[in-house]
Structure 1
Amino acid sequence: MSLKILVVSASTGNGHVSAAIAITEEAERQGLQARHVDAMDIVTPGFRRWYRGGYETLVRRRPRLWGHLYRGSDRPYFYYQAQTGLDTTFCAPLDRMIERERPDWVVCTHSLPQPRLARIRRRVPFKMAIVVTDLYVHRMWLRGQPDLFFVPQPWSQEVLLKRLPETAGRIHVTGIPVNGAFAHAPTKAEARAAHAMSEDQPVVLMSSGGIGGGPLVDATLDLAATGAHVIVVAGRNEASRQALEHAVMNYDNVTVKGHVDQTEMASLMAMSDVLVGKPGGLTTFEALTVGIPFVVYWPFLIPGQEEGNAEFLQELGAGVIVREPSQLGSTVNGLLRDRERRAAMRMAALAQAKPNAAPDIVRILREQSGA
């Protein structure tokens, strides 16, 4: 029996898509029929602009409002009901795709398609699996009565069981699927040789995610003052990249990059001593997989879903949280000077890494289907 798997993401950020691609590529590697679909490519243009554009605008300009909406929709009241209604209505193009593809499994790495998929299953038989891409299992992930849940950590499983006790036996703790480039990242020496970087030069990698929000310029200047070589990844935010390049034109220890692919990002993590950024679900597990100490910079953080990720990194000893801009430079400088602490943080990260999440997910799907 050859399984047919449809993996559905939604490109409101890089993480959901990255996880979907990792699962799709692993399924294909195992000889299965697999296809990845970005729900944002098939919804109506107006909904796409509202959903993606509204998210990015709120995260960049009104993060507190976004946090309020996130927490409000975690309760079964107005925000939750309104969003579920919109998701069900505007994901209607999924109907034709499911009817045409007739998959055995639909795997969601974003909560957006779940309500519509639940409706489609009334007439087209398939099984649905949910890959939760944040440590906290928000109510939006609970829609549609999925057959399986794949969650990042045991704590995530505990949250899910409290919210839906009937999911016992349907939850698997796999971690979040990351691209194979992170599981097979080069050594520090190999990565630095590839980038023509001295092995003795302290290197700090900084990113505020795919949308490139937050006070990147100020943070970059603070880090440059440590004397380390600072590599800043501005993501898709072209305006932010241009502002950075203008601000650091007289600094010879700062490199500014725009969007980078995952192979390059894995190499940049491997060659760096410290990562400064926001703990999106995928970034968190990519950093754990490579074993790079993570400095969570609170002004970059998206309120709501990333707060729990930040606390997780700090509690397990793989990261530290910097809440005030005045503390960023001194905190990073202290880590750069303390080789033993960085080594301990690296070991703590690697101990919690789950580089085989994608193979494990595909294996479980096959087992559940007798394939």
Structure 2
Amino acid sequence: MRKILIITGNYGEGHKQAANALYKVIQLRQLNYEPIIIDFMEVTHPLLNPISHYIFINGIKMFPSIYGFFYRKTRAANSMSEILNKINNLGVSRLLKTIKEVEPSVIVSTFPLAAGAVSRLKEHGYIDVPTVTVITDHTYHSSWIHDNTDRYIISSEYVKEDLQSLGVPKEKIAVTGIPIRPEFCHNLSVDPLRTKHGINPSIPVVLIMGGGVGIIGDGSTTIRALENLPKKVQIIVVCGYNDKLKKQLSRELSNSKHEVILLGHVDYIHELMAISDMLITKPGGLTTSEAVASELPMLLFKPLPGQEQDNAKLLTDLGVAFQAKNTKEMIEVLSFSLFTPEILNKMRGNAKKIHRKWAAFEALDVIDEVQNATSSHGTPMEMNS
């Protein structure tokens, strides 16, 4: 049985979600593939990973402008991005060891640092395996783009134009959409789901998500601001792994005028999106792709400098989302849109025109094509630690 090695990372929930989506569709299609998922940072920097992950997540929350500065400075390949690439070379020997053990017939990267490391291994002749990179945002950045990548799987024609402007040959680019879980492929019957989740069909539903660690604004302040809405709504808050936020909201919203449902990490987001009227979220590539597939209007809250701002601009330009820079703007947008069916219906219609529900299946077709184009690959060489 052929093996697909999927290399992802936990620096953003979307990288893992894309990897898991591919894993699921490989199993559903019952092809002669064994999918194997590994975490790039856990493999290459097992001791450093917990610390660097903590610094990354909290650094973005506390110093978003610094993150944005480095993102912009390294958007195109330059001396600064090259320095970061060299730093990333540390620990690559561990990745090579893993590749030798797995012996994959194709390598798929859903994490930019992994894409770069695999490309460098190919460049120096340590591996000769076809490689595919899945870009998990609605934009581009030099960290994703490497000479020895055989195919790029991307979200839209807009990103394709950007990659071609950077010199990526069009035959290396496949527009499939960002891979999302197969649960989003089919239209769901809403009424039974409303009953299942205790939803009143006559009151608007606001779904709030902030990523796997629940970082949307400063959490409780953002959500408590919804008390300023002129009418009662139903609020579903997915706190992810942020148990502290969930407990805090449970205390602070106990007397809310709204109906509030607080959840932790769940695996039925597709059901929650199906019964909601508006999603308030950070503009990550995966969550927004799932929302578009669900034809769910979005309010993108406080996009971070960098890929989130790029994602937000595209989605608002396409008419499937609003954007709010602060809680005041959030309440203003919700007050005029949430209670106006014509606005929501128009946004749903826009989403229906552009969604790619079957993106994960199309991406798998591309991966299979790349693998089949290379009938054999070389044996990985040894590498000095």
TM-score, with structure 2 as normaliser: 0.90
Structure 1 equivalent of residue 188 of structure 2: 186
Letter in structure 1 aligned against 2:160: Q
Q: Any stretches of 5+ residues in structure 1 without a counterpart?
A: none
**Superposed CA offset, 1:279-308 (max 9, x none):** 10001100000010001112xx22201111
Matched, 1:341 2:347: no
Q: Which residue of 2 aligns with 1:54?
A: 55
Instruction: Tell me the CA shift for residue 50 of structure 1.
Output: 4.3
1:5 corresponds to which residue?
4
Aligned to 1:270: 274
Match of 2:142 in 1: 139
Matched, 1:22 2:27: no
Tell whether the 8 Å contact from 2:180 to 2:289 is kept in structure 1 after alignment.
Answer: yes
Matches within 5 A, 1:315-326: 315-326=317-328
Is the CA contact 1:88–1:113 (under 8 Å) kept in the aligned structure 2? no
Distance apart, 1:215 and its partner CA: 2.4
Amino acid at match of 1:278: K
Match of 2:245 among 240, 244, 260: 240
Q: Which residue of 2 aligns with 1:152?
A: 155
Give the percent of matched residue pairs that are identical in Structure 1 and Structure 2.
26
Structure 1 position 318, deviation (Å): 0.8
Once the two structures are superposed, what CA deviation does each residue of 1:113-146 show, in whole Å capped at 9, x if it has no partner? 1232123331332011011111111000012520
Shift in CA distance, 119/327, structure 1 to aligned 2, threshold 3 Å: closer
Post-superposition Cα deviations, 1:73-128, rounded to whole Å, max 9, x if no partner, equal 22434541232112221233111111111111100011111232123331332011
Equivalent residues of 1:223, 1:230 under 8 A apart: no
State the 1:191 CA deviation. 1.9
**Shift of residue 158 of structure 1?**
0.5
The match for 2:164 is 161
Match of 1:260 in 2: 266
* Structure 1 partner of 2:87: 86
> Matches of 2:372 and 2:97 in 1, distance apart?
27
Letter in 1 for 2:22: I
Contact (CA 8 Å) 1:224, 1:253: kept in 2 or not?
Answer: no
Name which of 352, 355, 361 aligns with 2:354.
352
Paired residue secondary structure (1:337): coil
- Compare 357-366 and 116-125 and name the one that shifted more: 116-125
Q: Could you tell me whether the CA contact under 8 Å between 2:151 and 2:370 is conserved in 1? A: no
Deviates more, 1:85-94 or 1:352-361: 85-94
Q: Alpha carbons of 1:119 and 1:309: their partners in 2 closer, same or farther (altered >3 Å)?
A: closer
- 1:57 to partner: Cα distance: 1.3
Q: Deviations over 1:206-256 (max 9, x none)?
A: 112122222222221222443101111122222222222221122262222
Partner of 1:329: 331
Please provide the CA RMSD for this pair.
1.8
Matched, 1:228 2:233: yes
Check conservation: 1:102, 1:126, Cα contact below 8 A. Answer: no
Tell me the residue number matched to 1:95.
Answer: 96
Give the secondary structure class of the aligned counterpart of 2:338: helix
Which segment drifts farther, 215-224 or 205-214?
Answer: 215-224
Q: Contact (CA 8 Å) 1:274, 1:294: kept in 2 or not?
A: yes
Relative to 1, partners in 2 of residues 1:325 and 1:35: Cα closer, same or farther, differing over 3 Å? same
Greater relative contact order structure (CA < 8 Å, 6+ sep):
2
Summarize the Cα distance change of 1:224–1:181 in structure 2 as closer, same or farther, 3 Å threshold. farther
Count of matched residue pairs = 365
**Could you tell me how far apart the structure 2 residues matched to 1:68 and 1:238 are?**
31
* TM-score scaled by length of structure 1: 0.93
Cα distance in structure 1, aligned partners of 2:319 and 2:146: 33
Structure-2 separation of matches of 1:82 and 1:236: 33
Alpha-carbon distance between aligned partners in 1 of 2:65 and 2:289, rounded to the nearest angstrom: 25
**What SS does the aligned partner of 1:169 have?**
helix
| Match runs of 1:273-292 below 5 Å | 273-292=277-296
1:22 Cα deviation after fit: 0.9
Q: Distance in 1 between matches of 2:69 and 2:241?
A: 25
Does the C-alpha gap of structure 1 residues 308 and 115 become closer, same or farther in structure 2, counting only changes over 3 Å? Answer: closer
Spell out, residue by residue over 1:179-200, the C-alpha distance to the aligned partner (whole angstroms, 9 max, x if none): 1122235233232111121211
CA distance in structure 2 between the aligned counterparts of 1:311 and 1:190, rounded to whole angstroms: 35
Going from structure 1 to structure 2, the CA distance change for 1:204 and 1:253 (only over 3 Å counts) comes to same
Q: 1:209 to 1:27 in 2, by over 3 A?
A: same
